[in-house]
Amino acid sequence: MVVMGVSGSGKSTVGAALGQRLGVPFADADDFHPPENIAKMAAGHALDDTDRHPWLEAIGGWLADHDAAGGVISCSALKHVYRDQLRRHAPRSWFVHLDGTHDVIARRQASRPGHFMPTSLLDSQFATLEPLAADEAGFVVDVDQSVDAIVDQVVAELGR
């Protein structure tokens, strides 16, 4: 399972809670970024597709390693093509899109002191975001609610 969305949507928090609830490993895609990507974002520059490719390959490898037993990873996965890249490694990947308005996400993002992704890049994240398409396995959930409520919705959707 990939918990996706723009920076500040709660991917890491929700992903960790889902992993715990489902009894499967959790990984944060932020930990897969090479130092050059972190430095670029910290300097206020958005990543491009060339920057993202090796990062997505590493995440895809983690998904493939956890395909049989299950796992949850948080990853922005903003574009359909990025999600396709992940699915090439783990075709059964299921995406949970944490969706919210710009204002809600900006408030959440501002409450994360010390994170390498500055709030100034939120506009570029929303501009890049391509919502889940009809041909993609997944579920969209509103982030303007408690983590427990989000996890309950995702678990209920998995049971369908």
CATH of the domain at 79: 3.40.50.300
* Total domains present in the chain: 1
User: 10 in a domain, yes or no?
Assistant: yes
User: 114 in a domain, yes or no?
Assistant: yes
Q: What is the pTM of this model?
A: 0.90
User: 19 in a domain, yes or no?
Assistant: yes
pLDDT at 60 over 60: yes
SS3 call for 141: strand
**pLDDT confidence of residue 38:** 87
Mean pLDDT of 15-31: 97
User: 27 in a domain, yes or no?
Assistant: yes
Q: Which residue has the tokens 């993002």?
A: 109
User: 123 in a domain, yes or no?
Assistant: yes
Domain range spanning residue 62?
A: 2-155
User: 122 in a domain, yes or no?
Assistant: yes
Q: Which residues of 78-106 are buried (b: 16+ CB within 10 A; e: fewer)?
A: beeebbebbbebbeebebbbbbbeeeebb
Q: Give the model confidence (pLDDT) of 67-94 as tens digits.
A: 999 999 999 999 999 999 999 999 999 9
User: 14 in a domain, yes or no?
Assistant: yes
Nearest Cα neighbor of 62 from 15, 6, 1, 5 is 1
User: 140 in a domain, yes or no?
Assistant: yes
**pLDDT confidence of residue 43:** 84
